[in-house]
Amino acid sequence: MNTRMRQILESKSAMRRRLGSLPFSEKLALLEKLRHRNRVFAYASLLKEYHQLTSNSIPGQEVGDLRARMEDLARHLTPKEVDFLNGLSIDLSTLGGTEVYEPDGKDQWTPQRIRETLKRAWSANDREAILKVLRKGPLLSAAQTAFLRAQSYEALGLPDIALLFMEYAAKKDPETSSYKILTMRLLEQTGRLDEAGRRAEAYLSEEGNDLNLRIFAAHILYDFAKTQRVEALPIYRRLATILEQSLSKYSKIKPNFQSMAVLGYMILANCYAALGKNAEEVQAYESGLEMEPQNSLVLAALGLTYADSDPSRARTYFMKAVERNTIAVSPYLYLAHHALKSADYRGCFELCEKLKNIANQARLKEVEATAWHWGAIAGFELGVNPESVRMAFEMALGLDPFDESIVYNFNLFKQLQQSLQPAAVVSGTRRLDWETNRVFDSKGARDELLENATPNLPV
Amino acid sequence: MQADGVIGKYAIGGAVGAIYYLEPSATLDVDIFISLKTPSDSSLVTLSPIYDYLISHGCKVEKEYIVIEGWPVQFLPVGDALDEEALAQAVETEVEGVRTWVMSAEHLVAIALRTGRAKDFTRILQFVESGVIDPNKLDQILERSGLLAKWEQFGDKYLKETE
């Protein structure tokens, strides 16, 4: 399972627990919202099906049945929802090749006014307003309009609909690689990794494609390879060859978009890691670092490559990554664990404080639990208020109730609070036998780095 | 409605009842279990007084539901001893300052098991996973309702891997 999928599952499970603990009336209010949302999504899906059937001129019973289902559902929609879905219906009809614009009515929609309104909606990130203004009159090319629609529908939680518009943008403007890249990403996002992988294969087999497209295609194919049990190694081999060639060509020209090449080196390194070629893996990371010496994700990745074989070197790379405020969790985890084991409680506490925020934002529940857990131990050893320590343990346990080491250490702490002599106290030194062994998941950490290294696309 | 004497004690069941204990999940309707007295001149229970009351207060009837403030509500007269017990032992709570009752988690599981549709089984699994069920209480309810054999079958089919 890839990191993103694991994160999704973990965040969903955390969300379920959080929602489960809300008061009944709040749950009912949420349910009300959910019912509206589901109706809109269900209707949008029927609308998509309807447009596909009618554009393929499939008449008769099937369309009739679909219309009946839509009419049934429409009775439960609010006027605002009907307005939104009518707009979607207009937008879907443009996929047939002709833009459809709403009649002007009393207001005159001059190109100037459309441009200004669109600009304002874009700045305010108001997706529904963007969609509305695009229906007022011609302003952008068909591809750009479809792209904006795709981005807006994706942001509104309709990636299936977004995919239709992004594919249309790619069809209308085959020269812009970002449309192809975003189509692959939407295919992956909507669970069609096979199709995304097939397209990635095709782009990689064409010589002329630009580096952005090749690297994103490699990324998609790498994700696809991870899901394959038997055929993964030949894919990694082929990807490594393609990336070596593409990146060496790229380095001969003046780089104008380094992060993309760095991502390429990171995928290359991961392919080598999967093939067991560690020297080549390190070389790939070092090439990436040469390109961007301050890139904290590459520094973290290099730390990971030495985590088992050369801990001191690993720490050096991890420390550099932390100094650059990396958003990867692995350096913080590794260093905080080392600090805890070395009784550097101040260092551990500070690292855990940073780690809590990063893990929380990335919705990495177990990592956040670890940060609270080790922070509680370090805090206790530093003489922090016992109530704060207790709260930190409770937070850790709430986030990861199945971690036995948290349970063990929380009990140890409670024994101390009750003035019982814990068995683990070594007389005289007051050093406690905290359970802090943790298996460092370097593979999971590498996947996380790759996800974080994906830059935003220049469109 | 209760204050106006149209209904006596009631309890929320079904998916909406379940979200008292679990996270909210998609559902179309609200199931409200009520106890109705059979009129002396008839052997049939009737929901007419409830419908008349709600229609007079602006609610609309749609198929088997009556729509109250946008929510399709189905009133279900208690049908057997399990329903009656679920109603009697419902948990009291408050929604926006109004006192209301929700069936106990164990009764919701037992009724879902009796109903036995795929979505009922999914809900039972959610209850099992959430850990809110008191196994002893559930055992007693299932035994009294003659649902132990069905529970065994359910366990064989769905719970073996989680044990």
CB proximity list for A255: less than 8 A, separation 6 or greater: A261, A291
Which of B19, B126, B129, B133 best tests the A interface by mutation, with the highest count of A CBs <10 A? B19
In angstroms, how far apart are the furthest CA atoms of chain B? 54
> What interhelical angle do A24-55 and A61-74 show, nearest 10?
150
How far apart (Å, rounded) are the C-alpha atoms in residues A408 and A418? 16
Contact flag B19-A38 (C-beta cutoff 8 Å): no
Nearest to A20 among B93, B94, B130 (CB): B130
In chain B, what are the domain boundaries? 7-103, 108-162
Residue B126 dihedral angles phi and psi, to the nearest 5°: -65, -40
In DSSP notation, A14-61 reads HHHHHHHTS-HHHHHHHHHHHHHHHHHHHHHHHHHHHHHHHHTT--TH
How far apart (Å, rounded) are the C-alpha atoms in residues A134 and A145? 7
Q: Is A192 an interface residue toward B (CB < 8 Å)?
A: no
Nearest to A19 among B23, B70, B96 (CB): B23
Distance of CA A307 to the CA centre of its chain: 25
Q: Per-residue pLDDT for chain A (459 aa), expressed as one digit of tens each?
A: 445 445 555 555 666 666 677 788 888 887 777 777 778 888 898 888 888 888 776 667 777 888 888 887 787 787 888 899 999 999 999 998 887 787 766 778 888 999 999 999 999 999 999 999 999 888 889 999 999 999 999 999 899 999 999 999 999 999 898 899 999 999 998 888 889 999 999 999 887 768 888 899 999 999 888 887 668 899 999 999 999 988 887 665 544 556 788 889 999 999 999 999 999 999 999 999 998 888 899 999 999 999 888 989 999 999 999 999 998 999 999 999 999 989 899 999 999 999 999 998 888 888 899 999 999 999 998 988 888 999 999 999 888 877 788 888 888 888 877 765 444 433 333 455 677 666 556 666 677 777 766 665 544
How far apart (Å, rounded) are the C-alpha atoms in residues A140 and A126? 18
The pTM for the full model equals: 0.64
Which residues from B are below 8 Å from A when comparing CB atoms?
16, 19-28, 70-71, 93-96, 102, 130
Contact flag A38-B26 (C-beta cutoff 8 Å): yes
Q: Which amino acid is at A7?
A: Q
Instruction: Using the Cα atoms of residue B120, residue B125, residue B127 and residue B130 in order, give the sign of their dihedral.
Output: negative
| Chain A hits for B22, Cβ within 8 Å | 20
Nearest to A435 by CA among A403, A400, A408: A408
| Chain A hits for B94, Cβ within 8 Å | 24-25
Task: Return the DSSP state at A254.
Answer: P
Chains A & B: contacts with CB separation below 8 Å: 40
> What interhelical angle do A442-453 and A211-226 show, nearest 10?
150
Element (H, E) at A117: helix A111-123
Nearest to A143 by CA among A108, A113, A167: A167
| Chain B hits for A35, Cβ within 8 Å | 26-28
Contact flag A35-B27 (C-beta cutoff 8 Å): yes
Upper half-sphere CA count for residue A283 (Cβ side, 13 Å): 8
Whether the complex's predicted ipTM surpasses the cut of 0.90: no
Nearest to A214 by CA among A226, A202, A231: A202
How close A39 comes to chain B (CA, Å)? Answer: 10
Interface of A with B in 22-81 (CB under 8 A): 24-25, 27-28, 30-32, 34-35, 38
